[in-house]
Amino acid sequence: MSSSSTVDLSHHLSNEAKLRLPNPMKEIWRLARRKPNMVSLANGDPHSSLYPIKGLQFEVASLEEEDPVAAWRTAGPSAPSQILKSSRDDPCILPVQTAFQYTTGAGLVEAQQALTELANFYHNPPDHVVTLTLGNGDAVTKCFRLLGNPGDHFLADEFTFSALANAAVPQGIRWVPLKIDEGGLIPEELERTMADWNEERGPRPHVLYTVPCGQNPPGSTLTVERRKKIYELAQRFDLVIIEDDPYYFLQYTSPASSDGAEARALSPSFVSIDVDGRVLRVDSFSKIIAPGMRLGWITSSAFFHAHLVTYTDSATQHPHAFGQIFITELLGPAGWSVKGFDKWVRSLRNEYQRRRDLFLSLFEKEVGPTGLARAGTPEAGMFVWARINVERHPRFRRDTGAAGARTNCRQLMVELFEKCLDGGLVVMPASVFALTLDPKYNDAENPIEDRFNYFRLTFAGTEEAMREGLAILGLSLREFFEQK
C-alpha cells in the first residue's frame, strides 16, 4: 500500500469508544504470537482434536467458461464447478483446527490476508488495515458506535437505506439530510450545510455516511469529480466518511470485456484517495456471493482498526469460521484467486446489466405510454428509482402558504401504494427511505414529504416477476389517476 500522512482523528471517537478497554486475554494472545511454538497453559479453547469436524468442502462455480455466471445460471445440474477444501489432515490455506479456534476481533490472519489482497487489488488504499465483520449491518453499526455520542449530528443522503440509518437513532445520533439529484449527493449541498451550520442547533456534524455506488434507493453513483470534491470538503470541515459500498462490484459503466486490470477503471473509492485516514470503508459479500454469508470487512486506518478490534473483542467476537474458511480458500491459489474473483464479478455485472436493460425496456412498454411515471437509469446496484408524476393526479393540491408539507403528495402516494398491493404488486415507497429527522432540521421551504413521489423497484428478481410486476404497475397507475 502507498504511504500517507495520517492526521490525528482521535477527537472523533465516541465516549464509549474511549472508555472501552482491551480484552486482557486477547492481549495475552497477541503477545504470545511474538514467538513460535509457545507452550500454553493459559487458553480455555477446547482442544482441536476434540472438534467433531474433519474437513469441509464447498462446491462453487467454475471459472472455465468465458461468461461463468451465464454458464452457472443456465446449465443447471451440469454447470461446471470446482471444490474448495479445508481439512484437518490435508494441505490447505486455513485448516479446520486453526479456523475453529478463538481469535481476535480482526479475524483470522489468513482471512485478513486474503481480504487485504482483495482490497489492494481494487483500491490500493494508503496505509489502511482490514477488519473482518459480520456483513454491512454489523460493520456500519459498529462505525456508528465508534464515532457517535448522544446529541451528535451525522450527515447522509435525504433518502437512504432506513434499516441502517435507524440503527443510529437509539444512540441519540441526529441525522442531517443532504439533498440529492440524479448524480447522488450534491457537494454544494454538503458545503452549504457545513458552512452555514448554526451552533445553536447543537454540535456541528462530524460524520458523513454515504453509499457512493448504486445508492439505495435512488441507484445513483457519484462521479469522480464529486468524490474528489466531497473528500476535499471532508478535509476542510474535518469530517469522517463512512463509505458503505455494497454495490461497488455492480457498476455498469465499465467495459465488460476487459481483463483484470479493468478493476482500476471502476469508480475510485473514497478510501483509495484517503490520505488522512478519515475514511472507514465498508464492504460485503452479500450482493456478489450470497446475503446469508454474513461476512464483510472494514478498510480503515490502523487507528480506527485498533478501536474496532477492541470493540469486537468485547462484543460480537470474530466472524464465524465457516465464512472465513470459505473466503480464504476461494481467494487462494486452489480457488478462484483474486483475479478469478474479478472475472466472476465482471460476469455478474454483465448479468445484472442485462436484467437492468430488460427491466427498463419493459418499463417503457408497460408504464411509459401512461405518461404517469418515468424510470431513471441506474449506473450501479439493483434498483430503479421510478418517479411518479403525482402532480398530474386530479386530486393533487399545492398550498403555497402551508407550513411543512405544501402538497398532498404523501397521501396520494399512500393511496397508490395500496392500489398496487390490491393489484398483487409490492413496491417500496420513497417514504420508508426518508431519514428520521428532528423537526427543527426540516427544510420548511422544500420539505421532503413533497418529494415522496417515488417507488423503488428491483430488477434482481426473475424475468417473469419483472414482466408481471410492471404490467400491474402500469394498470394500477391508469386506474389510480382516473380517480376523481
Expressed in angstroms, the distance from the first to the final Cα of the chain is 63
Choose one of 301, 324, 345: the last residue of a domain.
Answer: 345
CB 452 within 8 A of CB 407: no
**How far is 97 from 47, CA to CA, in rounded Å?**
9
Q: What integer is the mean pLDDT of 215-237? A: 97
Summarize pLDDT for 254-279 with one digit per residue, the tens. Answer: 444 444 435 446 899 999 999 999 99
Residue 395's contacts (CB-CB under 8 Å, 6 or more residues apart) are 408, 412, 483, 484
Q: Please state, rounded to an integer, the average pLDDT across all residues of the chain.
A: 91
Scan for cell 458552512, then name that residue: 195
Backbone angles phi and psi of 360, in degrees to 5: -65, -35
**How far is 465 from 428, CA to CA, in rounded Å?**
15
Q: In this model, does residue 88 exceed pLDDT 60?
A: yes
Residue-level pLDDT at 255:
43
Q: In this model, does residue 443 exceed pLDDT 70?
A: no
**How far is 427 from 410, CA to CA, in rounded Å?**
15
Residue-level pLDDT at 260:
43
Summarize pLDDT for 40-87 with one digit per residue, the tens. Answer: 787 777 888 889 999 999 999 999 999 999 999 999 899 999 999 999
Q: Which has the closest alpha carbon to 244: 362, 144, 101, 113?
A: 144
Q: What integer is the mean pLDDT of 144-151? A: 97
Summarize pLDDT for 398-422 with one digit per residue, the tens. Answer: 987 656 668 999 999 999 999 999 9
Question: CA triplet 275, 277, 278: central angle to 5 degrees?
Answer: 110
Count of domains forming the chain = 2
Judgement on whether residues 126 and 242 belong to the same structural domain of the protein: yes
Judgement on whether residues 213 and 165 belong to the same structural domain of the protein: yes
Summarize pLDDT for 202-216 with one digit per residue, the tens. Answer: 899 999 999 999 999
Of 23-37, 133-147, 317-331, give the lowest mean pLDDT range: 23-37
Judgement on whether residues 338 and 357 belong to the same structural domain of the protein: no
Judgement on whether residues 386 and 263 belong to the same structural domain of the protein: no
Judgement on whether residues 258 and 387 belong to the same structural domain of the protein: no
Q: What integer is the mean pLDDT of 229-253? A: 96
Q: In this model, does residue 133 exceed pLDDT 90?
A: yes
Structural domain that includes position 427: 349-481
Judgement on whether residues 148 and 262 belong to the same structural domain of the protein: yes
Choose one of 317, 345, 373: the last residue of a domain.
Answer: 345
Judgement on whether residues 257 and 339 belong to the same structural domain of the protein: yes
Judgement on whether residues 385 and 251 belong to the same structural domain of the protein: no
- What is the side-by-side strand order in the sheet with 428-429? 373-375, 383-388, 454-458, 428-429
Residue-level pLDDT at 41:
80
Distances (CA, A) of 91 to 55, 88, 334: 11, 8, 11
Q: In this model, does residue 317 exceed pLDDT 90?
A: no
Judgement on whether residues 394 and 450 belong to the same structural domain of the protein: yes
Q: In this model, does residue 35 exceed pLDDT 70?
A: yes
Residue-level pLDDT at 444:
64
Tell me, what CATH number does 399's domain have? 3.90.1150.10
pLDDT interval class at 197 (50, 70, 90): very high
Summarize pLDDT for 375-391 with one digit per residue, the tens. Answer: 999 999 999 999 999 99
Q: What integer is the mean pLDDT of 224-245? A: 98
CB 1 within 8 A of CB 299: no
Classified as helix, coil or strand, 199 is helix
Classified as helix, coil or strand, 447 is coil
Question: Residue 52: inside a domain, yes or no?
Answer: no
